[in-house]
Structure 1
Amino acid sequence: MLVNADFSRRAIVTPDDYQWVPSPQSGVERVMLDRLGGEKARATSLVRYAPESDFPEHPHPGGEEIFVLSGTFSEGDRHYPAGSYLRNPPGSVHQPASREGALIFVKLWQMKPDEKERVHIDTRDPSNWQPCGRRDICPLFYSGTEHVTLQRLQPGEPLFATEVTSAEWLLICGQLKTTDQTFEPGTWMRLPQGRYPDITAGSQGAMVYLKTGHLPDKPEEA
């Protein structure tokens, strides 16, 4: 299966574009944002857990990155509310579930094989944020060229101040705008190398999950 598989082109999915499809597990649905492969694939998705839904325990040979957007996401006896950022490295095993229901942003098979450490960051904790010019930044992960942050932008502030080697963003709240389009929360965009000065925060500002420098020229299927 190929979804937004040409990484040399801009890809965008807005909430109006969402197509929820069942996962192999009852009560769990997903929106495929990009995907290269079958059920075990290099993939970026939104995943929605109905209340009292779960997956059997399973491994992630290629690793898994998660940001909890709403509800509470659980792994065994560990419970992560909205605003939690998780990285489960290649070879890790977990049993995901949600008692109350949850919506999460998930990236699979996109970690380097030598990544070993589990990461959990509570982005609701003010101590995890730092000022940077007119914006506030919550660092989530950094390794080589890959840089993952949550950013709070002031109204009218550009998302990118300089050229980026590659970028991917998910709008958490507020608005982002270009000269001819306004993006609402839940919009996802993937960008190849280039300059994107026209992407700015709307009149109420914006909070954005932002990943840069992570896309290979020709991603391989998992």
Structure 2
Amino acid sequence: MISMQSLVEGLPEALKLKGVNSIYLPELAQKTDQELHSFKGGHALFTFPNTPIKCAGAPQKIMYISDDIFRQNGVRDKTKITYCTSLGRVFGVKKYADTLMKIVESKDIELNVRRNLIKVDAITRTATFEILDEDAVPTGETVSFKYDFLHAAPPCSPVKPLRDCHELTDSKGWLDVNPDTLLSKKFDNIFGMGDCLNTSNAKTGAAISSQMRAMSKNLPALL
């Protein structure tokens, strides 16, 4: 899968300017670090998209790291931190969400659920979000926030060769496999692994290790 910052209006251009960052783009890692350490206070806004995403915990990890940097630099009391997520709670897995919610509250972070970033205006420093319903479908309503520092976790999608290969994929471009065997639902000699699958697991290294265990049994059995 690949990051698709172009799916958010104005984001590709904004990422080139001061105040808008993303650790999902390696070339922006140093810029993000420099801006966090030079931040003097204001509104720090962090987002989570309405698509599958590489490492669903990373948007929160950078937020907690930022909180720590602000505290070390003595500007946390001058800073409002907001987390806008497309999910209905702070994290997709409830048992982790319950613990993370305690962390969010202890760090005085404002949580806004069912908010999906759709536009960034780098000139006015305004981020616009569509409001989602319980099924993650846009309601037609939007809400905007002014920011001084924005960390955008961009939407992600399957790579273009997969999106264009309808014989192998589902309607959204993900490799269509049986979630238990990892065998293609359309071809009996094709297996899939990794971020490209339409399985419900997170797109993480931990998920790959689980898939490896299934693959180590199922592939030899087919051969």
In terms of fraction of residues, the more helix-rich structure is 2
Q: TM-score, normalised by structure 1?
A: 0.27
Q: TM-score, normalised by structure 2?
A: 0.26
Q: Which has the larger radius of gyration?
A: 2
In terms of fraction of residues, the more strand-rich structure is 1
Structure with more contact order per residue of length (Cα contacts < 8 Å, sep ≥ 6): 2
